[in-house]
Amino acid sequence: MSGNTSKTNLEEYAMRHSMAHILASAIFRLYPNAQFGIGPVVDNGFYYDFLIPGVSLSDGDLPKIETVMRAIIKENLRFEQYNMAINDALSWAEQSKQVFKKELINDLKREGTTLFKDLNHDELGIFVDHNKTQLKEVSFYKDGEFIDLCRGPHIASTGLAGSFKLMRISGAYWRGKESNPQLQRIYGVAFMNDQNLKEYLAQIEEAKNRDHRKLGQELDLFIFSDLVGSGLPLFTPRGTILRDELANFSNQLRLEIGFEKVFVPHLTKTDLYVKSGHMAKFGDELFLVKSQETKDKLVLKPMNCPHHTRIYAFRQRSYKELPIRYLETTTVYRDEKSGELGGLNRVRAITQDDSHIFCSQEQINYEINNLLKLTQKFYKIIGMELRLRLSFRDDSPQYLGSPEIWRTSEEQLKSAVEKNKLDFFIEKGEAAFYGPKIDFMATDSLKREHQVATIQLDFVQPERFELTYDASDGSKQQPVMIHAAILGSIERFMAVYIEHTGGKFPLWLSPEQLRIITLNQEDGVVEFARKFEIMAKKRGLRVKLDNGNESVSKKIREVERLKIPYSVVIGAKELKLGLVTPRIRSDLYDGLTSNTSFNIETFIESLVYERDNRLARTHIK
Amino acid sequence: MSGNTSKTNLEEYAMRHSMAHILASAIFRLYPNAQFGIGPVVDNGFYYDFLIPGVSLSDGDLPKIETVMRAIIKENLRFEQYNMAINDALSWAEQSKQVFKKELINDLKREGTTLFKDLNHDELGIFVDHNKTQLKEVSFYKDGEFIDLCRGPHIASTGLAGSFKLMRISGAYWRGKESNPQLQRIYGVAFMNDQNLKEYLAQIEEAKNRDHRKLGQELDLFIFSDLVGSGLPLFTPRGTILRDELANFSNQLRLEIGFEKVFVPHLTKTDLYVKSGHMAKFGDELFLVKSQETKDKLVLKPMNCPHHTRIYAFRQRSYKELPIRYLETTTVYRDEKSGELGGLNRVRAITQDDSHIFCSQEQINYEINNLLKLTQKFYKIIGMELRLRLSFRDDSPQYLGSPEIWRTSEEQLKSAVEKNKLDFFIEKGEAAFYGPKIDFMATDSLKREHQVATIQLDFVQPERFELTYDASDGSKQQPVMIHAAILGSIERFMAVYIEHTGGKFPLWLSPEQLRIITLNQEDGVVEFARKFEIMAKKRGLRVKLDNGNESVSKKIREVERLKIPYSVVIGAKELKLGLVTPRIRSDLYDGLTSNTSFNIETFIESLVYERDNRLARTHIK
């Protein structure tokens, strides 16, 4: 998700922060005995937590609260800042029965803070400054009758507030702790103007329609079963086609640049991960496997790299063989606390389009360059813009490998990215402990950013697994490993991609590419439709014939529900003329009318062309 | 393995049995104080167990023993049968210090037997007859000085023995129990004539050369790693190509007849297998998985059928949708006591080309027929003869489902097999508890029979999972499930196939199809070779260019080691003429000389033709 508050401009931030106060002011007018928690700015808006003795709010109360908020905005009340001695502040809280504010002021007194130092509110509302400056005064803001402990900033007056909408009410424990009282949290969104708010609300509506869990069911892509378990999706025939086409395309691009497929078992002795170091680092996330017949200590693999080192190392390698490039579409297992119910974002069996290159230090540049080009090509066809994060080391001691190797490698990554004229930023301290990496962020059609592909350098696994090759000078050298994935997690990518496209997949990814519908069940009609179906199948198209006795309109509703790109109705007219008039899914015909007729050979070949040239669209002329 | 003794003819059986006595007679001559265990007939031969106080035999002693055996044969001693009262027999054993015979006679006395009733010796030598006939006499055979407790039958005299060879000596506990004394077991093979013995010995030698573990290493197909664990092979790029090509071909044949691919997780709650009944039946063989983060009880899936029922059942099905056919190439896990070291015959992660059909009772015939045709097609191309076992129920109570359904289904299977004019036999009592099945036995080039494909009817899973469909009359009906696999276990199939072909794979299965070798490193030569390589790659051929500076003979040795079907040496002559003269692996050129030259386009197209027409051979003209 986008919306890192540190990147949002200050004006919008102050407006949203003021919006939280306006919400609190409204609650104060409506429920004078309300106790106030905290009210921070969040992505696209704000919230405020309240405890209103004897009152349980519901979403039905939101319009009433909005009305009071609008009144407060109309009154154009000034946001007045003033400081108060800390003990006076405590007396204020005591007097006005604001127990949560009192707790916060006591914390400030004990812990010390400068209050204004950091714009980032913490969701838990802990205003702690670790510099431990002795605090003498605290800051307050007042709008009308409502007074709040607050470090600001705010807009000058309520009349300057932008456009807002309250979204929902939920429960929230004070400071997020289950042992604390439960407060009522009201969420709102706020933007600088009506236009932006409208756009945002439309986007949310669209996101709801595109929710991959909803579409997954409507388009018949995947299911969950209580008997199988949460976070463990089963893919139906249609979903399996989408999975396979995506994975196959990633494979194809990699095979073209010299990768070779390998295959390793999912079940493995823990010894492998003790050796690799994963056991010490990720031991808690592993699924432990108990053999009832042997004493083997086994796990489900959380990573594939250690296995691939075993294939590399099964005989002594020569510099002449490098780079050695392995790819494998395979599943790793992570013992997630709770799988996201019904969704693909967070699963416990994660399929990766994993790749490992073993190469010499001198070959890194060439390999990275190839991987960059390949990733760009993939996302161009997928239709998502990429932004790259160069995740480099900082000065902390967690990074393994010599600083010299790090310096060179980080420079190699940076120069490769620059040479490819890619949009990138550097983030220090985000490297893996074993080497620097490039993380690819893709922006979807709803402007949300998702981390997808990755390219990582690794100096540590080759060391731990004592990998070597015979160099041209006869010496034994250690190869570098490059980890790469284009899709990343296929399940997560599918979630992103289903929402990106709203389930309107291009032809090459459509589980069903063409539906042939008979207008009636006359012999000649059905025969013609069957002939058509067989011809399309022969060209490898995924086609289905619907010659049931339902009405054509019912048959077409199914085509629309499944978002099948092309459909053709066959009746007496088509039979007579030998021509068909395809129905084209609206996003595909680029402004051309869909009223053109074709003989079936021409039509089939145009579909084949569109399928094989993944970016092709305007072939229907 | 072939060689079920009950099917071997009686004459050969008696000869081998007599051979065991001749071996024992020779030991008696060489070591008069030897104590004799038992000496049964086994596949292709016989063995005898001895305890020779103070003597430890080794394979080096075998020629000496063979010499004495030959002498006994030359002496043409009669095998004399006589009965002895059981107490006299005991005295004989006592007197001659034959402690093992004494134990056997005591058992006979206690347990009773008719001795002649059953020709099948039990390897443990327990001559028990469960009819518990009171035994008064026991049978003996005598040849020369050697006397043995024995029910026969034997040949008339030692001179009628066939051709034999002693193979090896190994240790064996008396009656297979570790707490008993260890005896020395001498194995021999015996045939009716020299010719048969020679053929057999040649076959053994060939089997050694074709051992898939040996070839797996030589051809660089798979490896094992101590860190990963026994029974858990890792497939190298070459092995992965072989795996994938086999699995893809099986998939292709099934997709053509209406199967659809699905994808399910390997990790699953035990609940699924409690419901399916597998937990109760196979609970011990399951790998139990412990989640550290949740309370879920999980296992690695031992079967795929329960998952596929979940996909079937995710919405109500109509008769119009049937048959629904799912296929998945996926791994199941069995907690084997010990993985066969270094081999693919017995692994703990077993990949299956699994298939499940959900259909109505009336559709069984059509589906079985399709599966039979498909399996025949596959094994015709693989080059192995099939024999079918119809595994039917007997009268035991373990079989679930109504007798009427069983009767109809068994008849359906039988009539489908007959209609396809297939070589079959019926074995009662071999059905699965859930339904009758067809097991396919394939004969390899060494005449060994392997169980491979299977087609199984299942009335139980649909019942347990409450599967239904809306029938055309509006009623709810229960579908039948058909389980099928063409390869069976891919790992086991690979073991069989590697040995069947001796690693000489046909073009379509060859990990590397063409090796281009440069005679020297002259610019023009390398350039021509590169152009050739690119052209071959464009046609999807698996080609590798070897333009290293090693000698051509060294390069060709590698081609031979890897059994690459085609290779081409490029030098100044080829460059000048623009023609190449392929080296063809001897099994491929069907008696044609390999001295013909081609332009590279023609050559490449002939390879493409051979690849795409899997049975094609004589394209090189």
CATH for A567: 3.40.50.800
Judged against a pLDDT cut of 90, whether residue B479 lies above it is answered with yes
Looking at per-residue pLDDT, the higher value among A178 and A474 belongs to A474
Which of A449, A472, A501 delimits the end of a domain? Answer: A501
Measured between alpha carbons, how far is B180 from B196 in angstroms, rounded to an integer?
37
Q: Are residues B529 and B452 part of one domain?
A: no
Using an 8 Å CB-CB cutoff, list chain B residues near A268. Answer: 227-229, 232
Give me the residue from A275, A300, A307 closest to B234, CB to CB. Answer: A307
- Find the residue in A nearest to B311 (Cα): A236
Look over chain B and give the mean of its residue pLDDT values, rounded to a whole number: 89
Structure tokens belonging to residue A281: 């680092």
Judged against a pLDDT cut of 60, whether residue A15 lies above it is answered with yes
Quickly list DSSP for A23-76. HHHHHHHH-TT-EE----EETTEEEEEEE-TT----GGGHHHHHHHHHHHHHHT
Measured between alpha carbons, how far is B15 from B73 in angstroms, rounded to an integer?
12
B27 lies in some domain: yes
Give me the residue from A225, A287, A310 closest to B289, CB to CB. Answer: A287
Q: Are residues A245 and A166 part of one domain?
A: no
Using an 8 Å CB-CB cutoff, list chain B residues near A310. Answer: 223, 225, 227-228, 234
Q: How high is the pLDDT of residue A594?
A: 58
Stretch among A146-160, B313-327, B331-345, B474-488 having the lowest mean pLDDT: B331-345
Q: How high is the pLDDT of residue A617?
A: 60
What is the mean predicted confidence (pLDDT) over B68-93? 94
Looking at per-residue pLDDT, the higher value among B483 and B597 belongs to B483
Using an 8 Å CB-CB cutoff, list chain B residues near A243. Answer: 263
Q: How high is the pLDDT of residue A207?
A: 87
Judged against a pLDDT cut of 80, whether residue A115 lies above it is answered with no
Which parts of A519-605 are beta strand (E)? 543-546, 566-570, 579-580, 583-584, 598-599
Q: How high is the pLDDT of residue A386?
A: 95
Strand A476-477 vs strand A469-470: parallel, antiparallel, or unpaired? antiparallel
Judged against a pLDDT cut of 80, whether residue A592 lies above it is answered with no
Count of CB atoms situated within 10 Å of the CB of B179: 7
Residues 95-154 of B with CB under 8 A from A: none
- The secondary element (H helix, E strand) that includes residue B64 is helix B62-74
Tell me the sheet residues that pair with B14. none
Question: Residue A137 — pLDDT band, cuts 50, 70, 90?
Answer: confident
Measured between alpha carbons, how far is A325 from A309 in angstroms, rounded to an integer?
11
Looking at per-residue pLDDT, the higher value among B523 and A164 belongs to A164
A2 lies in some domain: no
Q: Are residues A242 and A351 part of one domain?
A: yes
What is the mean predicted confidence (pLDDT) over A352-357? 97
Q: Are residues A541 and A567 part of one domain?
A: yes
State whether residue A537 sits within 8 Å of chain B by CB.
no
**In total, how many domains does chain A have?**
3
- Find the residue in A nearest to B465 (Cα): A227
> Would you call B227 and A333 a contact, using CB atoms and an 8 Å cutoff?
no
B617 lies in some domain: no
Stretch among B39-48, B83-92, B278-287 having the lowest mean pLDDT: B278-287
Q: How high is the pLDDT of residue A153?
A: 87
CA distance B236 to chain A (A): 5
Judged against a pLDDT cut of 70, whether residue A596 lies above it is answered with yes
CA distance A124 to chain B (A): 25
Q: Mind listing the pLDDT tens digit for each residue in A367-383? A: 999 999 999 999 999 99
Stretch among A4-13, A332-341, B513-522 having the lowest mean pLDDT: A4-13
Q: Are residues A452 and A401 part of one domain?
A: yes
Cβ atoms of residues A102 and A90 within 8 Å:
yes
Cβ atoms of residues B579 and B345 within 8 Å:
no
Tell me which residue of A107, A143, A129, A176 sits closest to A27, measured CA to CA.
Answer: A143
Which of A501, A517, A540 delimits the end of a domain? Answer: A501
State whether residue B223 sits within 8 Å of chain A by CB.
yes
B459 lies in some domain: yes
Output helix, strand, coil percentages for chain A, rounded to the nearest 5.
40, 25, 35
Structure-token match 């069903």, residue found: A512
Stretch among A299-308, B123-132, B242-251, B328-337 having the lowest mean pLDDT: B123-132
B597 lies in some domain: yes
Question: Residue B126 — pLDDT band, cuts 50, 70, 90?
Answer: very low
> Would you call A298 and B268 a contact, using CB atoms and an 8 Å cutoff?
no
Residues 306-345 of B with CB under 8 A from A: 306-307, 310-311, 314, 320, 326, 331, 333, 335-338
Phi and psi dihedrals of B189, rounded to 5? Answer: -115, 150
Question: Residue A152 — pLDDT band, cuts 50, 70, 90?
Answer: confident
Question: What are the residues whose beta carbons fall under 8 Å from the beta carbon of A438, sequence distance 6 or more?
Answer: A368, A372, A388, A389, A390, A391, A413, A417, A424, A454, A455, A456
Tell me the sheet residues that pair with A82. A140
Q: How high is the pLDDT of residue B615?
A: 78
State whether residue A234 sits within 8 Å of chain B by CB.
yes
Question: Residue B123 — pLDDT band, cuts 50, 70, 90?
Answer: very low
**Sheet strands side by side (includes B480-489):** B260-261, B324-333, B349-359, B480-489, B449-458, B437-443, B385-392, B424-428
Domain of A517, in residue numbers = 507-612
What is the mean predicted confidence (pLDDT) over B93-116? 80
Q: How high is the pLDDT of residue B131?
A: 52
| Percentage of chain A lying above the pLDDT 70 cut | 92
What is the mean predicted confidence (pLDDT) over B339-368? 90
Q: How high is the pLDDT of residue A133?
A: 56
State whether residue B262 sits within 8 Å of chain A by CB.
yes
State whether residue A267 sits within 8 Å of chain B by CB.
yes
The CA–CA distances, whole Å, from B427 to A492, B388, B414 equal 50, 10, 12
Judged against a pLDDT cut of 90, whether residue B142 lies above it is answered with yes
What is the sign, positive or negative, of the torsion defined by CA atoms of A415, A421, A426, A430?
negative
CATH number for the domain including B120? Answer: 3.30.980.10
CA distance A472 to chain B (A): 13
CB contacts < 8 A, A to B, total 186
B442 lies in some domain: yes
Count of CB atoms situated within 10 Å of the CB of B391: 21
* Cis, bond preceding A153 (omega within 30 deg of 0): yes
Judged against a pLDDT cut of 60, whether residue A4 lies above it is answered with no
CA distance B53 to chain A (A): 37
CA distance B228 to chain A (A): 5
* Cis, bond preceding B323 (omega within 30 deg of 0): yes
Q: How high is the pLDDT of residue B138?
A: 86
Measured between alpha carbons, how far is B71 from B22 in angstroms, rounded to an integer?
10
What is the sign, positive or negative, of the torsion defined by CA atoms of A233, A238, A239, A244?
positive
CATH number for the domain including A250? Answer: 3.30.930.10
A141 lies in some domain: yes
Structure tokens belonging to residue A268: 């493995």
| 0.95 surpassed by pTM | no
State whether residue B257 sits within 8 Å of chain A by CB.
no
What is the mean predicted confidence (pLDDT) over B451-462? 93
Question: Which positions of A are catalytic?
Answer: 305, 334, 352, 354, 356, 437, 483
Using an 8 Å CB-CB cutoff, list chain B residues near A232. Answer: 265, 267-268
Cβ atoms of residues A546 and A203 within 8 Å:
no
Judged against a pLDDT cut of 90, whether residue A59 lies above it is answered with yes
Stretch among A32-41, B171-180, B211-220, B563-572 having the lowest mean pLDDT: B171-180
Judged against a pLDDT cut of 90, whether residue A166 lies above it is answered with yes
Using an 8 Å CB-CB cutoff, list chain B residues near A286. Answer: 292
Measured between alpha carbons, how far is B599 from B615 in angstroms, rounded to an integer?
24
Strand A437-443 vs strand A449-458: parallel, antiparallel, or unpaired? antiparallel
Q: Are residues B370 and B223 part of one domain?
A: yes
Structure tokens belonging to residue B539: 């046609």
Stretch among A92-101, A124-133, A310-319, A557-566 having the lowest mean pLDDT: A124-133
Question: Residue B5 — pLDDT band, cuts 50, 70, 90?
Answer: very low
Judged against a pLDDT cut of 50, whether residue B404 lies above it is answered with yes
| Residue B334 designated active-site | yes
The CA-based diameter of chain A, rounded to the nearest angstrom, is 94
Measured between alpha carbons, how far is B345 from B51 in angstroms, rounded to an integer?
34
State whether residue A263 sits within 8 Å of chain B by CB.
yes
Judged against a pLDDT cut of 80, whether residue B553 lies above it is answered with yes
> Would you call B229 and A306 a contact, using CB atoms and an 8 Å cutoff?
no
Measured between alpha carbons, how far is B385 from B619 in angstroms, rounded to an integer?
25
| Percentage of chain B lying above the pLDDT 70 cut | 92
Give me the residue from A233, A268, A548 closest to B232, CB to CB. Answer: A268
What is the mean predicted confidence (pLDDT) over A211-217? 94
Q: Which of B325, B334, B555, B611 is catalytic?
A: B334
CA distance B219 to chain A (A): 13
Tell me the sheet residues that pair with A577. none
Judged against a pLDDT cut of 70, whether residue B118 lies above it is answered with no
Question: Residue B1 — pLDDT band, cuts 50, 70, 90?
Answer: very low
Which of B468, B501, B534 delimits the end of a domain? Answer: B501
What is the mean predicted confidence (pLDDT) over A115-131? 39
DSSP B586: G
Q: Are residues A31 and A159 part of one domain?
A: yes
Measured between alpha carbons, how far is A23 from A165 in angstroms, rounded to an integer?
11
- Find the residue in B nearest to A465 (Cα): B227
B34 lies in some domain: yes
Count of CB atoms situated within 10 Å of the CB of B182: 12
Using an 8 Å CB-CB cutoff, list chain A residues near B272. Answer: 225, 227-228
Q: How high is the pLDDT of residue B281?
A: 80
Structure tokens belonging to residue B46: 């016989």
> CA geometry: angle at A347 spanning A344 and A349, to 5°?
120
Judged against a pLDDT cut of 50, whether residue A120 lies above it is answered with no
Looking at per-residue pLDDT, the higher value among B515 and A109 belongs to B515
Question: Residue A598 — pLDDT band, cuts 50, 70, 90?
Answer: confident
State whether residue A66 sits within 8 Å of chain B by CB.
no
State whether residue B269 sits within 8 Å of chain A by CB.
yes
Helix residue ranges per DSSP H, A562-613: 572-577, 600-612
Question: What are the residues whose beta carbons fall under 8 Å from the beta carbon of B474, sequence distance 6 or more?
Answer: none
Tell me which residue of A296, A295, A234, A301 sits closest to A264, measured CA to CA.
Answer: A301
- Find the residue in A nearest to B259 (Cα): A237
Q: Are residues A371 and A234 part of one domain?
A: yes
Q: Are residues B589 and B473 part of one domain?
A: no
Q: Are residues A468 and A513 part of one domain?
A: no
Tell me the sheet residues that pair with B543. B514
Structure tokens belonging to residue B549: 């500076």
Q: How high is the pLDDT of residue B614?
A: 86
**Sheet strands side by side (includes A480-489):** A260-261, A324-333, A349-359, A480-489, A449-458, A437-443, A385-392, A424-428
Structure tokens belonging to residue B617: 């051979």
Which amino acid is residue B613, in one-letter code?
N
Count of CB atoms situated within 10 Å of the CB of B226: 10
> Would you call B228 and A260 a contact, using CB atoms and an 8 Å cutoff?
no
Question: Residue A7 — pLDDT band, cuts 50, 70, 90?
Answer: very low
Measured between alpha carbons, how far is A564 from A507 in angstroms, rounded to an integer?
9
Cβ atoms of residues A167 and A187 within 8 Å:
yes
Cβ atoms of residues A266 and A330 within 8 Å:
yes
Helix residue ranges per DSSP H, B96-149: 99-111
Q: Mind listing the pLDDT tens digit for each residue in B249-273? A: 999 999 999 999 999 999 999 999 9
DSSP B291: -
Which residue pairs, CB below 8 angstroms and at least 24 apart, start in B176-185?
Answer: B176/B123, B176/B124, B181/B51, B183/B37, B183/B49, B183/B50, B183/B51, B184/B49, B184/B50, B184/B51, B184/B52, B184/B56, B184/B57, B185/B47, B185/B48, B185/B49, B185/B50
Cβ atoms of residues B618 and B592 within 8 Å:
yes
Q: Are residues B49 and B140 part of one domain?
A: yes
Which residue pairs, CB below 8 angstroms and at least 24 apart, start in A591-600?
Answer: A592/A618, A592/A620, A592/A621, A594/A620, A596/A620, A596/A621, A600/A532, A600/A535
Question: Residue A353 — pLDDT band, cuts 50, 70, 90?
Answer: very high
HSE of A255 in the Cβ direction (CA atoms, 13 Å)?
Answer: 17
Q: Are residues B410 and B333 part of one domain?
A: yes
